[in-house]
Structure 1
Amino acid sequence: MSAEQPPDKDHFLYPRSRYRGEFTPENLAFNANLQEFAQKIGYICALETGGKMPSKEAYQRIKELWKELKLSKHGLGIGENQPDGDSP
């Protein structure tokens, strides 16, 4: 019998879910960026809630992360080829 491997620290701290949408390299890359965004937001919220980060700093960090995600979406061309009726 072989001993089980201990869980990888990075996998534990930065879990990734499978992508289940329409596959394109751009969609896959954006999904990874979106998961990373969500993970970082969770950490920032936990730090702010726990009193380890001021609310103003948490807001600024989240705002910067949002800008990065928007740039990623634009750079990957996500949503640019949608018919006019499907855009929000």
Structure 2
Amino acid sequence: MEDRSEFLYPRSRYHGDFTPEHVVFNANLQEFAQKITYICNLETNGKLSPDTAYREIKALWKQLKQSKKELKIGDRSS
């Protein structure tokens, strides 16, 4: 079962500045990319309408943006 999970949800190693915030954001970013790929494939194959795909991607983008804000990634004061 672990092999299947690794196949469906691959993770890459983090090579940037090692802080807990950066590692968490990187994990969120990888999850975002994986979900975007699924949505794009579903839309390409006619399983989702373009409008639905757009709305889902927009919602995921807002979640990622909120994560960045909460983790203070790129915040000038940090």
TM-score by length of 1: 0.83
1:20 positional shift: 0.4
Alignment match, 1:29? 24
Alignment match, 1:38 = 33
Task: Compute the TM-score of the two structures, normalised by the length of structure 2.
Answer: 0.94
- State the Cα deviation string for residues 47-86 of structure 1 (Å, max 9, x = none): 000001000000000000000000000000100137xxxx
Gaps (5+ residues) in structure 2? none
Note the 1:9-88 alignment, pairs <5 A: 9-81=4-76
Q: Find the residue that maps to 1:18 and give its secondary structure.
A: coil
Moved over 6 A (4+): none
C-alpha displacement at 1:9, in angstroms? 1.0
Cα offset, 1:43, TM superposition: 0.3
Q: State the Cα RMSD in Å.
A: 1.4
